[in-house]
């Protein structure tokens, strides 16, 4: 009797150690977040810089740990958490976007006179949440990650306490976000009821014998999809996107449009394209419809926007639609195309947001598109970089944005969805209009204000990396493509 009790304990200890090592990057981020909270209590004239530097350091540590762990794919915490090339790919993207956000935040925070340690702490927690989302192989872990990042971003959205837009955005986001989380949770509980487990791989086994016309299963699938599609900003769950993008502090908008979106796509890919792939017949038609609607609404409504952040919000909706097409295509190419697209999207979106932060004089004034007027005269290089980001967002070669779309189209046509491809390209021609409109403003219109904008070093770094990334993904896509294709979910054939 005592032997039987003892034996599992020994095994558990090993498993615990292994699990702790496997989740090392997450633990580093937690420690980092807590330490940052402590650090913020120490008053120092350059506290912002200190905290930002510390956060970047912790993320770099976590990134290097992830890098080493990538060679040892393993399942941890009794199958709830996984370290595989898929999660590593996404984590690298998340680390990257968080570091870029931190670098961008510096000048923004001092401009807005926001010296608050919580900013960095919350950002780290948001990062942690997204990391759990991409590593979770159990619905509970995924849900915890989803909520953790959402909670952190709710607060960050309302960080500009004096700004009505920011407060409103935060409140809207909380209400709608909580609602969508509830729907996701409901879908989860239905799945649990159907399969008796929350573990994805066990669920896959149980559900493989299920009848697909079972209304309960359809309901469960749709509810869970609605939950994640909300995070992605797909039509008809997109209502929150413009207001929240506009109201949130610009660096947070940048973060929000890349990290949680990438993580949400990772969740979709892991659940619906890998473990529960057998459910595909239930959602594939809906997904094609949603993708087209999302692209159409994003492209057309963006045409009439006067605020640059709102415009980018609709543009991000349109891009989400394009990404969903990759989901419709499915298969190896479909998945790899989504992963590559997200990477390219990260580069170009962070780049254009860095420009917006620079142009933004005061959050209270808003961010009219006219801010870009005459930029080419004042800052030729800045204008040129914006030009690259905008053409990339519009999907014109030789930028990364073109290759990303190109690869999605390949995946689509390979599966015979030629009509969808035609619709997609026509809508992306529509969306080109609002990007090139900004280019016209930069190069043709006279400047509103003559004075030059101070550009600090950290933003210079962000701009440079984003530009290089946007161009390299377009000119030499082979390396990035290989990276994405090699990182398909563990065991995917």
Partner 1 sequence: MTASLLTDSVMAGLPILSLLIFLPAVSALLVPFLSSNNRVRWFTFVVLFADFLIASWLLLDFDNSTADMQYIESLTWVPALGITYKLGIDGVSVLFLFLTALLGWICVLASWNSIKERLKEFMICLLVIQSLMLGVFCALDFFLFYVFWEAMLIPMYLMIGIWGGDNRIYAAFKFFLYTLAGSLLFLVGILVLYFEGGRTFDILALTHGQYDFNVQAWVFVSFLVAFAVKVPMVPLHTWLPDAHVQAPTAGSIILAGVLLKMGAYGFIRFSLPMLPDASQYFAPLMQILSAVAIVYGGFLALAQTDIKKLIAYSSVSHMGFITLGLFTFTMNGTSGAVIQMFNHGITTGALFLFVGLVYERTHSRDIPAYGGLIKVIPLYGIFFASFLLSSMAVPGTNGFIGELLVLSGTFGVNNWAAGAGVFGALLGAAYLLSLYRQMLLGPVSIPGEAKMWDLGIRELCCAVPLLIFIFWVGLYPKPLLSILQPTLKQLLGQIMGRGL
Binding residues (CB under 8 A) for partner 1: these are 376, 380, 387, 391, 396-398, 402, 406-407, 409-410, 413-414, 418, 421-422, 425-426, 428-429, 432-433, 436-437, 439-440, 443-444, 476-478, 481-482, 485
* Separation of alpha carbons 47 and 356, rounded Å: 24
Q: Which of 272, 244, 239 is nearest to 257 (CA)?
A: 244
Q: Considering the complex, state which of residue 107 and residue 392 has its C-beta at the smaller distance from partner 1.
A: 392
We find the least distance from the C-beta atom of residue 325 to partner 1, in angstroms, to be 13
Q: Considering the complex, state which of residue 151 and residue 387 has its C-beta at the smaller distance from partner 1.
A: 387
Tokens standing for residue 142: 């995924």
We find the least distance from the C-beta atom of residue 326 to partner 1, in angstroms, to be 14
We find the least distance from the C-beta atom of residue 127 to partner 1, in angstroms, to be 31
Q: Considering the complex, state which of residue 160 and residue 343 has its C-beta at the smaller distance from partner 1.
A: 343
**Apex CA 128: angle with CA 186 and CA 257, to 5°?**
75
**Contacts of 487 by beta carbon, 8 Å cutoff, 6+ apart:** 85, 86, 88, 89, 339
Q: Considering the complex, state which of residue 73 and residue 397 has its C-beta at the smaller distance from partner 1.
A: 397
Q: Considering the complex, state which of residue 411 and residue 459 has its C-beta at the smaller distance from partner 1.
A: 411
Q: Considering the complex, state which of residue 227 and residue 401 has its C-beta at the smaller distance from partner 1.
A: 401
We find the least distance from the C-beta atom of residue 445 to partner 1, in angstroms, to be 9
Dump the DSSP string for 387-408: HHHHHHHHT-TTSHHHHHHHHH
We find the least distance from the C-beta atom of residue 66 to partner 1, in angstroms, to be 24
* Separation of alpha carbons 449 and 446, rounded Å: 9
We find the least distance from the C-beta atom of residue 315 to partner 1, in angstroms, to be 16
* Separation of alpha carbons 187 and 184, rounded Å: 5
Q: Considering the complex, state which of residue 203 and residue 481 has its C-beta at the smaller distance from partner 1.
A: 481
3-state helix, strand, coil in the chain (%, to 5): 80, 0, 20
* Separation of alpha carbons 232 and 260, rounded Å: 8
Q: Which of 306, 325, 302, 297 is nearest to 315 (CA)?
A: 302
Which residue intervals of 113-195 are DSSP H helices?
A: 117-135, 139-157, 164-195
We find the least distance from the C-beta atom of residue 271 to partner 1, in angstroms, to be 26
Half-sphere exposure of 213 (CA within 13 A, CB side): 0
Beta bridge partners of 197: none
Q: Considering the complex, state which of residue 169 and residue 439 has its C-beta at the smaller distance from partner 1.
A: 439
* Separation of alpha carbons 477 and 96, rounded Å: 19
We find the least distance from the C-beta atom of residue 323 to partner 1, in angstroms, to be 18
Q: Considering the complex, state which of residue 225 and residue 339 has its C-beta at the smaller distance from partner 1.
A: 339
CB atoms within 10 A of CB 119: 26
Q: Which of 173, 135, 182 is nearest to 154 (CA)?
A: 173
Cα–Cα distance list, 58 to 44, 64, 102 (Å):
20, 10, 12
We find the least distance from the C-beta atom of residue 471 to partner 1, in angstroms, to be 12
Q: Considering the complex, state which of residue 61 and residue 464 has its C-beta at the smaller distance from partner 1.
A: 464
- What residue ranges in 178-285 does DSSP mark as E strands? none
We find the least distance from the C-beta atom of residue 393 to partner 1, in angstroms, to be 13
């Amino acid at each position: 009797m005592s032997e039987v009790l003892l034996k599992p304990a020994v095994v558990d200890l090993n498993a615990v150690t292994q699990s702790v090592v496997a989740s090392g990057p997450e633990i580093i981020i937690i420690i980092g977040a807590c330490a940052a909270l402590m650090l913020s209590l120490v008053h120092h004239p350059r506290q912002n810089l200190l905290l930002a530097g510390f956060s970047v350091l912790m993320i770099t540590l976590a990134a290097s740990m992830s890098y080493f762990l990538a060679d040892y794919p393993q399942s941890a915490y009794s199958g709830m958490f996984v370290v595989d090339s898929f999660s590593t790919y996404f984590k690298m993207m998340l680390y990257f976007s968080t570091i870029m956000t931190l670098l961008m935040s510096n000048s923004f925070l001092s401009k807005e006179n926001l010296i608050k340690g919580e900013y960095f702490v919350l950002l780290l927690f948001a990062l942690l949440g997204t990391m759990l989302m991409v590593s979770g192989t159990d619905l509970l872990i995924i849900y915890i990650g989803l909520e953790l990042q959402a909670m952190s971003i709710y607060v960050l959205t309302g960080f500009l306490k004096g700004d009505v837009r920011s407060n409103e955005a935060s409140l809207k986001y909380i209400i709608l976000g909580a609602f969508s989380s509830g729907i996701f949770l409901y879908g989860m509980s239905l799945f649990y009821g159907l399969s008796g487990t929350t573990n994805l791989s066990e669920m896959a086994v149980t559900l493989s014998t299920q009848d697909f016309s079972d209304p309960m299963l359809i309901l469960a699938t749709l509810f869970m999809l609605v939950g994640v599609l909300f995070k992605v900003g797909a039509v008809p769950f997109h209502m929150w996107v413009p207001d929240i993008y506009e109201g949130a502090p610009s660096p947070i908008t940048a973060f929000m449009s890349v990290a949680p979106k990438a993580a949400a796509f990772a969740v979709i890919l892991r659940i619906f394209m890998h473990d529960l792939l057998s459910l595909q017949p239930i959602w594939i038609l809906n997904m094609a419809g949603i993708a087209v609607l999302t692209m159409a609404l994003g492209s057309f409504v963006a045409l009439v926007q006067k605020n640059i952040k709102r415009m980018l919000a609709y543009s991000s909706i349109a891009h989400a639609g394009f990404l969903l097409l990759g989901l419709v295509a499915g298969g190896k190419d479909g998945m790899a195309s989504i992963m590559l697209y997200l990477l390219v999207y990260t580069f170009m979106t962070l780049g254009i947001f860095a420009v917006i932060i620079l142009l933004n004089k005061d959050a209270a004034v808003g961010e009219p598109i006219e801010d870009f007027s005459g930029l080419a005269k004042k800052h030729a290089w800045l204008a040129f970089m914006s030009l690259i980001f905008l053409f990339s967002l519009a999907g014109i070669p030789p930028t990364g944005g073109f290759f990303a779309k190109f690869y999605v189209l390949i995946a689509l046509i390979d599966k015979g969805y030629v009509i969808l491809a035609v619709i997609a390209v026509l809508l992306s021609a529509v969306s080109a209009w609002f990007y090139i409109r900004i280019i016209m403003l930069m190069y043709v219109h006279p400047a509103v204000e003559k004075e030059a904008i101070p550009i600090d070093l950290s933003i210079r770094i962000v701009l440079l990396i984003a530009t290089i990334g946007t161009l390299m993904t377009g000119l030499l896509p082979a390396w990035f493509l290989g990276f994405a294709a090699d990182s398909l979910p563990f065991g995917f054939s």
